[in-house]
Amino acid sequence: MKRVLLLHTGGTLGMTGEPLEPNAYSQALTDAVPELNELAEIDTEIVFNLDSSDIGPEHWTTLTDKIAEHYDDYDGFVIVHGTDTMAYSASALAYSLAGLDKPVVLTGAQRPLAALRTDARRNLADAVELATCDIPEVGICFDGLLLRGCCSTKSNARDYRAFDSPGISPLARLGVDIDVADHVLHRNEPFAPDARFDNHVLAVHMTPGFNPRLFELMLEAEDHPHGIVLAAFGAGTVPTAKRSLAPTVEKAVGLGIEVLVITQAYGLVDLSLYQNSRKLAEVGAVSGGRMTVEAAVPKLMHALAIYDDAEARRAYLQRNVAGELG
């Protein structure tokens, strides 16, 4: 049988005791979902036990290091994770696990494993089976779908289909059989994980009437951001006629702060398309293409940590590292 390492980080799925004990959790998991033992030889490790809103870059580093440590010992990895920030973690791991040639599947649940009508049993069984397949990507398994992790977003807090990957078809669909898509990535480079992230990144959501002075106050802080993800309108537009944001973005770039522009909608940022977007490019902002905020924030954190040279960093931000650009 193939070997799968299940890494528990917390979240709704395993909320049955406080605090969770590794042996008790592992036994309860096997008892509750006995079919797991028919799918793979499973080892379980509790890496941390947190509400996912408390999970951030330092935890992405721990998970990267944990997978790298056991990489040669297992055929695939399953990460039990809370849903709220699962897409951020999946994106971060897609970048940090460079050269990945094994499946890393994140899953969780909208209701605990012990609850009636829980979705945890199916999600967990699906994730373990997917971790034995030839799908060498970081993905999110939920409600019968495997989505590309760095293209996913939590789209519903109440429905069992909690995640979506707008514009990107699922990597796999689980029904009677597992239907694996043709666009699964198979990388040729050697496995070379890099677990570094710079958490001095801020996301700014553009709104009508936005006051650029609020942006400037961040730049004036002693511990100012090293990078800013700017969620602009449409194809990348921001106000320019009144309270223009371009001079403030220019000031940020002049201070060495990377500004990565994404869209609040689903689609492609094209900073050359409109005058109100072109001004951002003229002052040094970088287009984030099709990246979601969940993909853009960890990518910018990773880029800032691994590249001191601004030109190399910007080239990385615009490169399709793990399929995040579609």
pLDDT (0 to 100) of residue 27: 59
In terms of C-beta density within 10 A (0-12 exposed, 13-18 middle, 19 or more buried), how is residue 95 classed? buried
What is residue 274's three-state secondary structure?
A: coil
Residue reference for tokens 């409600």: 143
pLDDT (0 to 100) of residue 78: 97
Mean pLDDT across 268-290: 96
**In the chain, % of residues over pLDDT 70:** 94
Question: In angstroms, what CA-CA distances link 206 with 94, 240, 261, 277?
Answer: 27, 13, 11, 13
What is residue 138's three-state secondary structure?
A: strand
pLDDT (0 to 100) of residue 51: 87
Q: How confident is the model at residue 20 (pLDDT cuts 50, 70, 90)?
A: very low
pLDDT (0 to 100) of residue 22: 46
Judged against a pLDDT cut of 50, whether residue 8 lies above it is answered with yes
Judged against a pLDDT cut of 60, whether residue 21 lies above it is answered with no
12 is catalytic: yes
Catalytic residue from among 9, 12, 83, 107: 12
pLDDT (0 to 100) of residue 37: 86
Mean pLDDT across 189-206: 97
* Cross-strand pairs, 324: none
Judged against a pLDDT cut of 60, whether residue 43 lies above it is answered with yes
Return mean pLDDT, the chain.
Answer: 92
Judged against a pLDDT cut of 80, whether residue 128 lies above it is answered with yes
Judged against a pLDDT cut of 70, whether residue 81 lies above it is answered with yes
Q: What are phi and psi of 221, to 5 degrees?
A: -65, 145
More confident of the two residues 37 and 155? 155
DSSP state of 259: E
**In the chain, % of residues over pLDDT 90:** 80
Q: How confident is the model at residue 31 (pLDDT cuts 50, 70, 90)?
A: confident
Q: How confident is the model at residue 211 (pLDDT cuts 50, 70, 90)?
A: very high
